[in-house]
Amino acid sequence: MEADMELPFHFQVASPKVKLSFHICVDSHLIESGLSLVDQLNPWIVPVVLGTKPKLSKGHSAIELDEDRILVIKGNTNSDDTFWFLEVNTPFVREHKIRLGTEVVSWSKGVIGKGLKPIVISGPSGVGKGTLISKLMQEFPSMFGFSVSHTTRAPRKNEQNGAHYHFTERHVMEKDIEDGKFLEFAVVHGNLYGTSVEAVEAVADKGKRCILDIDVQGARSVRSTSLEAIFIFICPPSFDELEKRLRARATETEEQIQKRHRNAKAELEQGKSSGLFDHILVNDDLGACYEKLKDLLGLTHGVNHPEESVLESFHVPLEHKVLKIDRKILINCGISEGEKPAVNMFVLDLASMKGGAPGRTRGLNLYQTDELTP
């Protein structure tokens, strides 16, 4: 496809009265807005576009997938930036249509490979979550990455922005929440705390397993999303021990300590009785609790990374053809150059596709083929 051309794509969504008129205008390697909805009552509706908008090269393909999303394949670009999804009727999009009171679409970047499940660790303040996570990351630095949360509270002594938290203004964080940029958020002790989608995805993009240190409210929010994770709740041996640990911090007033103590009781009741968490660990002895945590994650007898057949390096040229057969996309890249020219084709298998907006779309499998059908 030549530069500066418009690709029209009409897509029938769930309602028979509504069509999505999908236009990508390529100009200087950028997607122009070009998204509009068509219905019988209001011929042209410009939807709210969520997610990071992809940059396109001079060639691309668009393929209708079911009734909820469109696959965009970029030509002549890096391997990790080739596949993108425009979601038009997924659960995330429908939720934000209701929340915002208007039409919504969302971009999601496609990622080759399944990746390991993130780990959600929750528990009342002072229970030792941070210490357990630090020990895990120190022993297995190449395997785990820490999701850095956002908060509107003021930094404590020695806390660094971007390392301990992303410290931000309340109005900025509220706007980002409205735009769907947060996986979870909650008001804790009068301040907003939240985990951005990008904070989690950035860890996974590095090939690491993301650890989320969030409260019970946040864990419940994450559980309701498309993110597949392991949920672990850490609790103290007693309330007296928890209060002792809070006072040992020497960073809070008596009123703040009592408030955290009251909140801890509520969190413990929710954490133990709701069925929200897959595992519950009692941190009566830090060393013993840490060994139990490693055992739950399969780390006691050494780290075993499952082998995954992933085509790490590939190139879709400017000129290419695509064919959809069930949950597979045949990408014909033409004749490869060399001493023995051959048909250069890939199969993008979507059978294990998972995730999606507000995060990445993972579980894509790509392999080469010399057959005309996948």
Selected residue with higher pLDDT from 170 and 213: 170
* Cα separation, 79 vs 172, whole angstroms: 33
Q: What pLDDT, in 10s, does the model give residues 44-69?
A: 677 888 888 887 666 788 888 888 89
Mean pLDDT lowest for which of 63-67, 142-146, 323-327?
A: 63-67
Interior/surface letters 111-144, b for 16+ CB within 10 angstroms, e for the rest: bbbbbbebbbbbbbbbbbbeebbebbbeeeeebb
pLDDT confidence tier of residue 186, bands split at 50, 70 and 90: confident
Active site residues: 156, 249, 260
The pLDDT assigned to 330 comes to: 93
The pLDDT assigned to 64 comes to: 87
Nearest CA among 132, 169, 155 for reference residue 296:
132
Once rounded to an integer, what is the mean pLDDT over residues 136-152?
91
Instruction: Provide the mean pLDDT of the chain.
Output: 79
DSSP bridge pairs for 37: 20, 45
Any idea which residue has 């940059």 for tokens? 55
Rounded to a whole number, what is the largest CA-CA distance in the chain?
Answer: 78
- 125 touches 264 (CB < 8 A): yes
pLDDT confidence tier of residue 11, bands split at 50, 70 and 90: very low
Query: What class, spelled out in words, does domain 119-296 have in CATH?
Result: alpha beta
Entry pTM: 0.73
**Percent of the chain at pLDDT exceeding 70:** 76
CA dihedral 190, 198, 223, 263 (to 10 degrees): -20
The pLDDT assigned to 14 comes to: 40
Tell whether the model's pLDDT for residue 306 goes beyond 60: no
Q: What pLDDT, in 10s, does the model give residues 327-343?
A: 999 999 876 655 555 55
Domain ranges for the chain, please list them: 6-113+310-369, 119-296
Tell whether the model's pLDDT for residue 23 goes beyond 60: no
CA dihedral 219, 221, 226, 229 (to 10 degrees): 0
Any idea which residue has 């240190």 for tokens? 213
